[in-house]
Amino acid sequence: MISCLKIVFGMLTLLSFQAIIAEDTIFLKSDKQQAGTILGVDGGNVLIEVTVGAGKGRIPIPIASIQKIEMTTPSEVLNLNRSDAANVISILEPLVKKFKGLPADWIVDAMGTLADAYTATGKIAESSALYTQIEQLFPGSKYLIKANVGKAKGALASGSFDEALKHLEPLIEAANKTAAPSSEEGRLYGEAFLVKGMILEKKNDLEGALESYLTTVTSFYQNVEIVSQAEELAKKLRNQNPQLVVR
């Protein structure tokens, strides 16, 4: 009987611990914290549901007062099949509409993924508009790197190769000056070099393309998916051009 009680108590403790882990937390610039469930963004405020006595209540917290957010990434994003652009659009459009402007990595990644899906389905204007929104919503932040990479992708898709390179120039310059990139910088710069390689390959600068792909693989390797793409493109390029080397 005691053993059964111990098991039940252990299960309840584990469930309680999991509930605590799953709770979102907003860290304010005033050094205060607010835990609860983030519901979305509305009118420059993050709406968070909190426990009030025996019930629930909603609190609006101005985005301008937030230092950072710890939030459970929605399962739809974690389980997303990114190879199906139409499916990506149907899943991410409502999420982006609901959480757009939230200072959290997952929503910016979702906005970027949605913009890429727009590009893949020929909706270049929608893609460009979404990346412009990232610039407007997160001025002066690390997310501007993602916005510029996204705009480069859109220009690449429309055949505007020089314009695409222009979007990447400041990112590549900053990356080349970064001796020890953070994990987030590595993820973003790695994608910048991947896209640069794709652009240079279209411009028939095969040596430059290979060098860009290999830079992603060897120097900015924090994003496993991006590295895998760079490795595959580099391999394909070498197979098609056995004499190709990086000087």
Residues 223-239 have a mean pLDDT of 94
* Contact status, residue 190 vs residue 226, Cβ threshold 8 Å: yes
Q: Does the pLDDT at position 128 exceed 90?
A: no
- Residue 51: phi and psi, rounded to 5, are -80, 125
The whole-number pLDDT of residue 48 equals 95
Rg (CA), the chain: 22
149 to 169, 172, 186, 190: CA distances (angstroms): 10, 10, 13, 10
Binning pLDDT at 50, 70 and 90, where does residue 180 land? confident
3-state SS assignment for residue 45: strand
* Contact status, residue 50 vs residue 79, Cβ threshold 8 Å: no
Burial of 210 (0-12, 13-18, 19+ CB in 10 A): buried
User: pLDDT exceeding 90 applies to what percent of the chain?
Assistant: 57
- Alpha carbon 170 to its chain's center: 19
Residues 237-241 have a mean pLDDT of 95
Binning pLDDT at 50, 70 and 90, where does residue 5 land? very low
Q: How far apart are CA 198 and CA 236, in angstroms?
A: 12
pTM of the model: 0.70
Binning pLDDT at 50, 70 and 90, where does residue 120 land? confident
Q: How many residues can be counted in the chain?
A: 247
The whole-number pLDDT of residue 11 equals 40
* Residues pairing with 41 in the sheet: 46
pLDDT digits (tens, 9 = 90+) for 68-112: 999 989 998 988 888 899 999 999 999 999 999 998 889 988 998
Q: Does the pLDDT at position 167 exceed 50?
A: yes
Q: Does the pLDDT at position 16 exceed 60?
A: no
* Contact status, residue 202 vs residue 230, Cβ threshold 8 Å: no
Residues 49-77 have a mean pLDDT of 90
Binning pLDDT at 50, 70 and 90, where does residue 22 land? low
* Contact status, residue 94 vs residue 33, Cβ threshold 8 Å: no
Q: How far apart are CA 94 and CA 89, in angstroms?
A: 9
